Structure 1
């Protein structure tokens, strides 16, 4: 008859062997699952990169539709947004970058997107800089958007913000109403006279519910030329100013800024 010790040893060895098999299967299964997940993520990233690359061929309506789809699929957006941020930092195509910025307008409430857009205020491709600052004007609440646009204006003197970014910041503050007026009031003294004259022209031409409030603010300017321009604007609502395009803060007259698109008129760029 087999001794109890011998039987216990046999079943112990069986248990060890079974445990080893189970552990091996578990390790192999985990490795296979991990490999599958890695491949799945690679394929997803490839598809997302293809999506980003195709944006420059989309219309504004199509971009808005894509943005709406992403907002409705938060899990998908989590994969797409890192690629969007990467494109904002590294894209060499101006058209693609502007399209990505347009898509970003749906996600400006996310701080990482806000930061990426803010960093583009100094992009030497002025169309890109202007588009990025335009997107920042859509940040909510309006007070936060005004604060960001004020910081954009603050970078003009040092060259951190290109002229098109300044144009878009001024236009964005005007659209923000009371929050924008409060911010521009803090920034007026640091602006050149040419820029303040441009503001009078812009406000007068765009008009709207905030026109009078801004003209009142600009009418108290320390420069007599700006005050006179405001007085003339109130008498004649149509564009009547003949001012040079405002030069960037701290830069000579030879380096002229671009007007915001809303204020461009034939012949305005000349003296």
Structure 2
């Protein structure tokens, strides 16, 4: 009886060891596949990267394997191409604070392509109020020429897309931007249009700089011309 019990215990222990060993192997296999995936990112086309990011959004359980390698790639990419590809993939994981933080840190990357791409992903954070706050913080230092033009471009575009939260944030931050940039915003908003076009132009119409007011007034005058035609 004792012998039978001992045998059963041995079999149970061996069975548990096999299961644990198999799980460990599966984790190792998954990590290897993830490393290979991250390493191959820079060889993907932009369309493929978008498709991959969408696929990953549908597989939240994969995040535990992807996130560590993705953060590592964003911090120590071997090339600008790999870094930009990793940023594109990070769109699928923007809800994770560690990825958001990594993207925010990249806003000051000396490579404008990298910095502006990171900011474009931050614009997708949720809720929109949080995304607007992140984009607004990306403008800190703009009045001291510490923010790349491409980053300012992305911030302005992102805030316009965010609607009311974006407009509210721009009203607080617009003083960080020079007159030339504010004139540019008037032209950009007028060209892009959208439901918040008029509210943005109204904001610029109250600007202290005459050139900015003139640009906004010119854009708004197009409405009257269109209405009278």
Q: TM-score range by the shorter chain?
A: 0.7 to 0.9
Say whether the 8 Å CA contact 2:143–2:178 is kept in structure 1. no
CA contact (8 A) 2:95 2:126 kept: yes
Q: CA deviation at 1:33?
A: 7.4
- TM-score by structure 2 length? 0.83
| TM-aligned CA distance change 1:159 to 1:85, over 3 Å | farther
User: Which residue in the other structure is 2:53 paired with?
Assistant: 67
Assess, with a 3 A threshold, how the Cα gap between structure 1 residues 66 and 153 changes in structure 2: closer, same or farther: same
Contact 1:123 1:162 in 2 (8 A): no
Match of 1:214 among 193, 196, 200: 200
**Correspondence for 1:82:** 68
Partner of 1:123: 109
- For 1:191, the equivalent position in structure 2 comes to 177
Q: Deviations over 1:168-193 (max 9, x none)?
A: 11110011111100000001122211
Q: Structure 1: give runs of 5+ residues left out of the alignment.
A: 1-20, 238-271
Unaligned runs of 5+ in 2: 1-6, 224-229
Structure 2 CA distance for aligned equivalents of residues 127 and 146 of structure 1: 21
Flag the structure with higher helix content: 2
How many angstroms does 1:46 deviate by? 2.5
TM-fit CA distance, 1:64: 3.0
Deviation at 1:109, TM superposition (A): 1.4
The CA distance in 2 between the partners of 1:51 and 1:70, in whole Å, is: 12
Q: Pick closer, same or farther for the CA change 1:163–1:24 going to 2, 3 Å.
A: farther
**Which range moves more in the overlay, 45-54 or 139-148?**
45-54
The secondary structure found in structure 2 opposite 1:154 is: coil
The question of 1:104 aligning with 2:60 is answered no
In the TM superposition, what is the alpha-carbon distance from 1:140 to its structure 2 partner? 1.1
- Give 1:1-271 correspondences, 5 Å limit: 40-157=26-143, 161-236=147-222
8 Å contact kept, 1:71–1:77: no
Match of 2:85, SS state, is helix
Kept after mapping to 1: 8 A contact 2:139/2:147 = yes
Cα distance between partner residues in 2 of 1:53 and 1:157: 38
The answer on whether the counterparts of 2:142 and 2:176 sit within 8 Å (CA) in structure 1 is: no
CA contact (8 A) 1:174 1:180 kept: yes
Q: Does the Cα contact within 8 Å between 2:139 and 2:176 map onto a contact in 1?
A: no
Q: 1:40 to 1:27 in 2, by over 3 A?
A: same
Give the whole-Å Cα distance in 1 for the aligned partners of 2:35 and 2:147: 29
Q: Could you tell which deviates more after superposition, 80-89 or 56-65?
A: 56-65
Question: How far, CA to CA, are the matches of 1:92 and 1:182 in structure 2?
Answer: 39
Task: Between 171-180 and 93-102, report the one with greater CA deviation.
Answer: 93-102
Structure 1 vs Structure 2 CA RMSD: 2.9
Flag the structure with larger Rg: 1
